[in-house]
Every structure is written in structure tokens, then in C-alpha cells.
Chains A and B, each alone.
Chain A
Amino acid sequence: MKTVRLLIVEDDPELQPRLKRIYREVFASHGYSSIIIETACHVDEARDLAKQAASHPFDLVSLDVNLGDAELSGLDVLATFKRFQSAWMVALLTGVETDTTLDAVMGEEKGERIRKQLRREAYQKFSAERLIVVEKPSPSLSSEQADALLRNRVEQIALVYGEVGRLRYIFRPIEVISLERIKTTKELKNKKLPKKFIETTALHWQIRFNCGDIRTLPDKAGFKTLHHLLGLDRSKSLRPEDAIILEPKGDSVIAPPSGKAGIDPVAEYFITRGIPWNEMTQIAQDQLIQVALSHLFKRYCELRELEDEDDLSPDEDDELVKIRKDLGPLEPFAETGYNRLCDNDHAESSISHSEAAQEGMHEAGSGYDKDEGRKGFDSTDAQAFRARMKRVKECLRENGFSAFADHLDGHVSSTGANWSYNPPNGVEWTVF
């Protein structure tokens, strides 16, 4: 079911109901079965709605420039929509485009300059690819002609909305002031709630494209990725109270016991990092080894080679110590593991090239020169996604959420064209 939520900001009491009717008819003819239309007729009313819609943005806002306010105009309303990120797309209706008196009074050149100035200001105040400036019917037209012109313009808006909307899978603002983690049920019972905060910038937009790439603006801490991965309600913004993470009750999945006798060193490596290794399928385990260890093994082998040749710089020496510490019980297996992973890369493995590419096992353009975004080639967006995930995880680790970061490591994977998060049974994310 195609739905659209519209806001019409128009101060003309005659034009507003006509616009409402035309928008409804045109969008219905474009296959939208649920059309919710809200209206505002003053600058302040529109700005208030824009602020209130920060967590539930309008799909389309039809905005008149001249709202009969001596101090503020539709452009100021536009700035509010941008600031609170409460509109996916805006259609700016301006009478300046068709106002012939402007040319008569000010001259054609000056009139044109004013029109350009208006457009320039509008594009400065809102994202250009999601803003369409259309002309309002001239007051000199008869009501039939004006209606026909309006219908034509709304058709144009609906077409652009459809095109732009095709890129949109998820697009919502996420407000993250901090994430709060409650460590264990025991601590909950004792009411000792350790407060650990990760501060981020205020608002982010999260866009998930149909191709599976996720893009967020501004791209700083990247917590939008978490928001997506946690599968929170799309209509809600991620607020601190939304992001309380409850670790599994009963048997711990995230932090299983370590150092069990007879345990496989690879399994032990992952289990001590909070990955539920034993619950994963063989394919998932292989993927995890590939993703988590290939780089580490490779670097270890390179540094070991240099060490054998007594050619290690102090920095490299430090790096090797760090890698050794990180590898722990896996160190004796690093060289053989690396060779095996190299072999797997060349031979047909259980993982297809497309999956491998999506998982980031191949660097962009490293010999897999097939269609971009399809097989064996990392699109720039996929690379950006991985980089962002890396930053998120680093940030989480720096702030004491290492178990959570490891958990994401283990359970975020690609499923063909999409990224997915598949937590094991027992892991619970609560949304209040």
C-alpha cells in the first residue's frame, strides 16, 4: 500500500481547499491509497508543525512563499523544515514566477534578478535534490484555467516525488544525545545503573536506498547505523530512552564463559569476544573468520617476516606486540590460517563472490571488474557503509561498549543486496 503524508502551507483561504483536492486526486491517480493531508495557513503554524514533525517527517510539503506575514516568509518555514529535518521533499509554490506586474514595475531585468534570487535563497535553505520550485497560477487567469495549471503543476510534483521517493527506503531523523547501557539484570535489580554516555551530534538523517546502501547525513559518529540495525520503530526517533540495551536474561549469549577445556582456539577467540560461536552455522563461522581474522593474520605474517629479517621499526614492533596480544591463543595458528584464507580466496569457497564482495572481503576494484554494485565490486556506498560501521564500533569500544561492538561484528551481515542484523535468540533490544 502506497502512502503519503502531505502538508499544504497556503494562506489563501480559497486556494487552500482547491490545492488539497487537487493533491488528493493527483496522488490517488498515481496509486497512493492512503493520502493524509494536513494544512497550515500561517508562518507560525507551519513552523510549529515543522518542529513537531521532527520525529515523524512529512513526505511532501507544498509551501507557499508569500504567506502574508510582514516579517517571515515561506523561505523561513523552509529553513525550519531543514533544521528539524521534518520534510522529505518540498514543493515551493511561488507567485513571483508568474507575476507580470513585477516586470512592469521593476523592469524585466530586475524582475528576473528577483526570481533568481528567490531560487538561490530557496536552494540554500533546503537540499536541492528534494526541492522543487513551481509557479502558482497568475491571479489574472480564470478559475478553470488556474485549476488546470495547478493540476499540471501538482502532476509535475507527484512525478518528481515518485522519482525521488524511489531512492528512499528509509529516511528519518534520528536524534541521539546519548546511549545508555544497563549492564546486567543483577545490576538492574540492585538499582545500580551505571550510566555511560556516548555523545553525538544532535540530528542525523538516515537514508537506506533500495540497493541496500545506507547513507546518513551528517556523517559523524554514525549512530544511525545502530538505529537501523536495532530495528527500532521507523516512525520513532532514537532517543536515549529508546536505546536502552538489555543484555540477554538467563544464560548469557553475548558474554559466554571463556577458557573452557577442550575448546577450539578459533572458537575461544570469538567466544571471549562475546560472539555466540557455537550457535552460528558453518558458513557464518567461515564468513566471520574471513572478515575478522584475515586482515589480522595477514598483518601478523608480514610483521613476522620482517621480524625474522630483523627489520622491524619500533612502531611495527609495537604493532606486532599488540597483534600478538589480540590474537592470544590463536597466534600459533596465524600463519597456517593465513595460508588457508589465501587459498580460499583463490579457490571456489563456500561463499559466493557476490556475497564476499558485499561482506567486504575484497577491496574495491581488486580484480573484480564486474558491474558496479552487483558482483565482486564494492560500490562506494558499500565501502562507506563499512567505514561507518568501523567508526561506530571503534566509538563503542572507546566508550566501554566493546561487548556490543563485538556483537555487531558477529551479527551484521549482508544478505544479497541488503545488510541485515540477525541477533541470536535471547538478545533483546527494548524500545520504550
Chain B
Amino acid sequence: MRIPIPESWKFDPPHTLVAGDGPHAAVLAQILDAEMMDWESLSAGPQAEEATRYSRVLNDLSRVFIVGGATRSTADFLECHEAIWNWIAKLAPGGTQHDVAMIFVLPESASRDCGEALAIGLGIPVGELVKSGHGVVRMTEGLGAMLETSTRVVARDRVRYLARKKSDNRHAALANLRETLSNSEPDAGIEAARQILEAFADHEHHLDLFCTSPNHRNGNRIRTVLHHLVTKPVTPMEWEAFQHEIPALLRSLETAHAL
């Protein structure tokens, strides 16, 4: 169910948004005098006020902190990131061209390569995260570091980010598989699966980032399916089953094609 646009946003449009729940997010929102919204509400998307019309209340939004607790996986962070863009696209006059800085605030328990995994999920080289509008910081680093990171991040719109995704080989391979599943014969699908395995060579666990929840279980399943496609003969019945199963396992991949 979609979420009504908070009334307070209409009177006092937010400059900073803290996406998350829990004490850390609440304190951060209070310190920054920011609006706060939990991940579930963000995922639900904004409710249109009249047919497809939305109040353009996010015109001033320039910074978003995505704060996740210990139970949140990297894939969850990526999903929240997508959900926030959905809100911005609908509620900012600039739509997908609205400039905003996104700062991921990772929990203490996040693995060491979580930043790298986020960059892979976003389709941006780790070194270019900051100039492409993204920052990564850990809760343990303290408020000073968090604010310092947020000021370094260059606010960017979604157009550049989607164009990056489009040229990223992992995203391109996954998008190609989706396309072949919908309108091609098994041979094309097998080739697409081979491309994906090549793109994720040695880092197949990163496929979890592109899977629907539960990410790891679905990631395991998609790895099995891809290996099956590449290494074993595929019967027409199996192909038909994969055509239905794979899209359900993968998160929707919005790329510049969708603009």
C-alpha cells in the first residue's frame, strides 16, 4: 500500500532525509533537523494525491542518509536506494534529473567489503562513488566523519547513475539475460548465462546483490540455474521453467534504457 506524502513536507519541504529506523537513524535525523522515513514506507512508494498527480515537495532535497541496522544486508541497502529514487522521481520537479547526495550509513556488523559490494550493486567503480553522488560511512566512525563524507559527496542526478549502470558489464549481462528470457531460444539464454558468469567471475556471491529477498537464498538458486544453463543440456521444458523462475529471482534492473 502506498504511503501518503507527509503533510509536514508540504509546509516545510525537507532538505535532508534520513531513511531508516532505529535509534541511530532517529538521533541522526534530530541532529541534522532532517525528515525521517522508515525503509518499509519508502519501499511502498508515495501515494498520488489526485490520479497521477503528486505534490512536488522534494524540490529542496539535497542529501539522503540511508541508515540500516545489523539485520540489513547490502542488497537491502540497494533496494532502499532504488525506493528513494522512486520518491524523488515523483516528488521533485526535476524528477530523475534532481541532484541529490546519497550517503549509506552501514551498521557495525557490515562486512569489510560492504562498500565495494555497494559500488558493484550500483554499477560504479569504488573510486568514483563520491563524484557520482554516493558516499559510504560506518556508524562507528562517528558523526563528524559522517558529516565530512556527506559534504564531500557531489550531488548528482539519476541520469548519470543509470548511464553508468548501462555501461557496467554486470548490469549489461543481467539485462541481456532478462531480454533473452522473454523472447529468445535457449541458445541465446545459454550465451547470456555464460556472459553473466564471466562478468561475476571469482565474485559470484555478488549475484546476491541483484536478487530479490531473501537475497542469499535466491542468489544461490540463480547461481545453480546459471551453471545448469552453461554446463548441462537444457530441455525445452527446463528452459520454459527458467523463463518464469529467473525473472522472479532478479530485482528489476533499471538502466538508462528506462529513461
Contact = CB atoms under 8 A, between A and B. Distances in A.
Nearest to A201: B53
Size category of the A interface is 20 to 34
Task: Please classify the interface of chain A as helix (H, G, I), strand (E, B), loop, or mixed, using the class held by over half of its residues.
Answer: loop
B163 interface: yes
A80 B164 contact: no
A72 B93 contact: no
A199 B5 CA distance: 13
Interface string A273-316: 00000000000000000000000000000000000000000000
B167 interface: yes
Nearest to B91: A202
B49 interface: yes
Contacts of B56: 177, 201-202
A245 B97 CA distance: 32
B13 to A, nearest CB: 8
Interface centre among A80, A177, A201 (most CB of B within 10 A): A177
Given A51-B97, A83-B94, A202-B93, A197 B10 contact: yes
Given A177-B56, A199-B55, A201-B53, A72 B97 contact: no
B176 interface: no
Interface string B7-32: 00011010000000000000000000
A199 B164 CA distance: 35
Contacts of A80: 97, 159
A335 to B, nearest CB: 41
Contacts of A203: 93
Contacts of B160: 44, 71-72
A51 B55 contact: no
A51 B53 contact: no
B97 A83 contact: yes
Nearest to A240: B13
A44 to B, nearest CB: 7
Contacts of A71: 160, 163-164, 166-167, 256
Nearest to B163: A71
A103 interface: no
Contacts of B11: 195, 197
B94 A51 contact: yes
A421 interface: no
Interface in B53-96: 53, 55-57, 59, 93-95
A178 interface: yes
A25 interface: no
A285 B160 CA distance: 59
Contact of A51 (B49, B99, B259): B99
Interface residues of B, number: 23
Nearest to A84: B94
A70 B97 CA distance: 19
Contact of B159 (A70, A72, A177, A201): A72
Contacts of A44: 160
A51 B164 CA distance: 20
Given A44-B160, A72-B159, A199 B49 contact: yes
A175 interface: yes
A177 B94 contact: no
Interface centre among B11, B49, B59, B160 (most CB of A within 10 A): B160
Contacts of B164: 71
Interface string A186-211: 00000000010101011100000000
Contacts of B167: 70-71
A213 to B, nearest CB: 26
Interface string B192-210: 0000000000000000000
A83 B95 contact: yes
Contacts of B10: 178, 197, 199
Top 9 closest pairs, chain A to chain B, by CB:
A202-B93, A71-B163, A202-B56, A83-B97, A199-B55, A72-B163, A203-B93, A80-B97, A71-B167
Interface of B: 10-11, 13, 49, 53, 55-57, 59, 93-95, 97, 99, 157, 159-160, 163-164, 166-167, 256, 259
15 contacts: A44-B160, A47-B97, A71-B164, A71-B167, A72-B163, A79-B97, A79-B159, A177-B13, A177-B56, A195-B11, A197-B10, A197-B11, A199-B10, A201-B53, A202-B56
Given A175-B59, A197-B10, 20 more contacts: A44-B160, A47-B97, A47-B159, A51-B94, A51-B97, A51-B99, A71-B160, A71-B166, A72-B159, A72-B160, A79-B97, A79-B259, A175-B93, A177-B13, A177-B55, A197-B11, A199-B10, A199-B55, A201-B53, A202-B93
